[in-house]
Amino acid sequence: MASPTSLLKRLLLGRPFRSDRLQHTLLPKRIALPVFASDALSSVAYAPDEILLTLSIAGASAYFFSPWIALAVVVVMLTVVASYRQNVHAYPSGGGDYEVATVNLGPKFGVGVASALLVDYVLTVAVSVSSGVANLGSVVPFVATHKVLIAVSAVVLLSAVNLRGLRESGTAFAIPTYGFVIVMGGMLLTGLFRVFVLGDELRAPSADLVIQAEHSVTGFALIFLLLRTFSSGAAALTGVEAISNGVPAFKAPKSRNAATTLLLLGSISVSMLVGIIWLARLTHLQFVEDPSLQIVAGPEGYVQKTVTTQLGETVFGSGSILLYVVAGMTALILFLAANTAFNGFPVLGSILAQDRYLPRQFHTRGDRLAFSNGIVFLALFAIVLIVGFQAEVTRLIQLYIVGVFVSFTVSQAGMIRHWNRHLRTERDPEARRRMHRSRAINTFGAGLTGAVLVIVLITKFLLGAWIAIAAMAVIYVLMLAIRRHYDRIAVELTPPDEGRAVLPARNHAIVLVSKLHQPTLRAIAYARATRPDTLTAVTVNVDETDTRELQAEWERREMAIPLTVIDSPYREITRPILDFVASTRRKSPRDVVTVFIPEYVVGRWWENLLHNQSALRLKGRLLFEPGVMVVSVPWQLASTASKNLDRLDATLSRTPARGPRRTVPPLVSAPPAGSAAPVVSAPSGEGEQSGSSGTRENTSD
């Protein structure tokens, strides 16, 4: 029978995939669009809200500027899309902004871009899910009163879906993403048709509310407010960079498919953003930052609904089934927008781990060929943000987009140097014309995104952007420290160019003994089979009666090796053994000491609590002693007989086992002293404890 943990894992994630099935997980354009573009597409659900509520600080008259703010955001988005189309053609390996900055500007710039992207991916999940809860709460009061719980549950569900694999998550998210585009497009076209063709006078539910300004805004203050509004609306650009990081996930031709997906993303996002702002102006829709203060003499118990929900009610009518469809699809696409980060963050983490800037576990694929550790890490930190900021979009949005515009700007600067370097060697006139055109696009993109970054820093720093900047700095320093550690270890482990390894002069074997039972006899037999120069058994005297019984049994069996008894007046075991090993080692520094430790292999998790505790403590201390080798000699208890690993693999995966398996050997009597040592299983991996699990599954999640 499989363990409950394994069964739950297979139920949630499915059967494991073989490594050679990686090619089958690649995405065609129709699936790649919802996988990588759902973040940018969904931003039209909260970017208009942020534009209108920021303008409301100056009163309802400031809504006049909303179309111009939207137009400025559109210009930046189209520029970024055009710039990144150059990136995916030049660097199709999936490193994205990190690779561009590292290759062209240097490793430290690359690490800076990577730290910004990692922070932005976490914020993408937190903001998208929180915004989805806010939209769903506009029509479902229960969600509004339990928004933190709903948001956390959504993150957990998204991580579980992504752990099942990239292609499966893309298929699951394709229908909702395309459904959102169709529903939003239908709502906008219907509203514009009713206004311009049928001549209907559409008025949003908030159109007749009286709005008062929070502050009197004129002159420089008005300019600052417009810049702050633009920086909030620029959240619509988040997610564009995910496609450049995810090029390896596309089917061939990868670069062309990624560039086409970018173009589709930009076209759809721009159309929906302009349509929502335009229809909001036509219906006199109002959306404020603080309804309790800014709405004068409003209806009793008034609850402000999101912009898309108000437009749905205006176009389709209050209580209409289509209104609930609009609210539901908007909430769903916002939940799924986090999927862009769930695909971008693990890939970037894998590349950073390969370059030794993150722990190597981030480069390991799980059973379903997804980068499981990166997915889990992203989910945990997003949950921390959601709980810490109580799923409030307005508070989270202030931390947002700083990282993405840092990566935009540095990446475009790197692309300029990329084209300059190639132009110095390229002689073909047609190729040079293409390079000049690409460099012009990237130059314009670098200037524009750099200006937006300055605006974002000025207008949002004190509102919360400093938190994101501090997080980037911490991650930057941490990644450099990790790289220094790996570099130092690599130098330490590099063998010398000349000379052969010096063999130890002699090998002194020590078998630790607590009782004279079958595990001890096996350890002695195995130690003798290694043919050491000296061999002794060691026990610690913590109980006089037990020690005398052991000595008597040792003499009765006429054991071929001596038994050394170490006194321990304070009943301590670890320190006397360490002192004995150290004294043996001091006699000849060129000798090695091999300590054989008998250990139980148990079949049930709770049995680990009852066995091997002293062995684990000893092993942990002995590993730090220079010139000391530690050998675990396992003895399988009867409870391990139920662990049929071959049957377990076949049942759960229904594919060939991932490696050779051996059935647990039956219990046998210990061999007599002097006989050949029994065959014992070698450790399956670095740091594995023989008594830690009877199943010894080879997992990488």
Which CATH number belongs to the domain containing residue 607 in this structure? 3.40.50
Q: Provide the number of structural domains found in the chain.
A: 2
Q: What integer pLDDT is reported at residue 535 of this predicted model? A: 93
| Residues 116 and 43 occupy one common structural domain | yes
User: Which residues in the chain land under pLDDT 50?
Assistant: 1-2, 5, 7-11, 17-24, 167, 368, 648, 652-701
Domain boundary among 627, 647, 667: 647
For the segment 322-366, what is each residue's pLDDT rounded down to a tens digit? 888 888 888 888 777 777 778 778 888 888 888 889 888 787 765
CA–CA separation, 430 and 66 (whole Å): 43
**For the segment 515-531, what is each residue's pLDDT rounded down to a tens digit?**
888 999 999 999 999 99
Q: Is 13 a domain residue?
A: no
Domain presence at residue 419: yes
Q: For residue 306, with 0-12 CB atoms within 10 Å meaning exposed, 13-18 middle and 19 or more buried, which class applies? A: buried
Contact 55, 231 (CB under 8 A): no
Does 379 share its domain with 478?
Answer: yes
Tokens for 39, please give them: 């973040």
Q: Tokens standing for 477?
A: 């320093």
pLDDT for the residue numbered 656: 42
Nearest alpha carbon to residue 377 among 337, 336, 335, 348: 348
Q: Please report how many Cα atoms fall inside a 13 Å half-sphere around the Cα of residue 363, on the Cβ side.
A: 10
Question: Is residue 448 located within the same domain as residue 549?
Answer: no
Q: Please tell me the pTM assigned to this model.
A: 0.69
In a domain, 117, yes or no: yes
∠ CA 560-564-567, nearest 5°, is 160
Instruction: Tell me the residue range of the domain where 361 lies.
Output: 24-485
Q: What residues does 538 pair with on adjacent strands?
A: 512, 564
Is the domain of 425 the same as that of 549? no
Same-domain pairing of 426 and 526? no
pLDDT at 456: 83
- β-pair type (534-541, 563-567): parallel
The token pair at 78 is 């189209």
Instruction: Tell me whether residue 164 is in a domain.
Output: yes
DSSP 8-state code for residue 250: B
277: Cβ–Cβ under 8 A, 6 or more apart, which residues?
48, 51, 66, 67, 70
Predicted local confidence at residue 404, as pLDDT: 79
- Verify that 453 and 549 share a domain, yes or no: no
> Which helix (H) or strand (E) is 594 found in, with range?
strand 592-601
Q: Give the whole-angstrom CA distance, residue 189 versus residue 180.
A: 14
What gap in Å lies between CA 66 and CA 230, rounded to an integer? 9
Nearest Cα neighbor of 650 from 666, 663, 636 is: 663
- Residue 691 near residue 612, CB atoms below 8 Å: yes
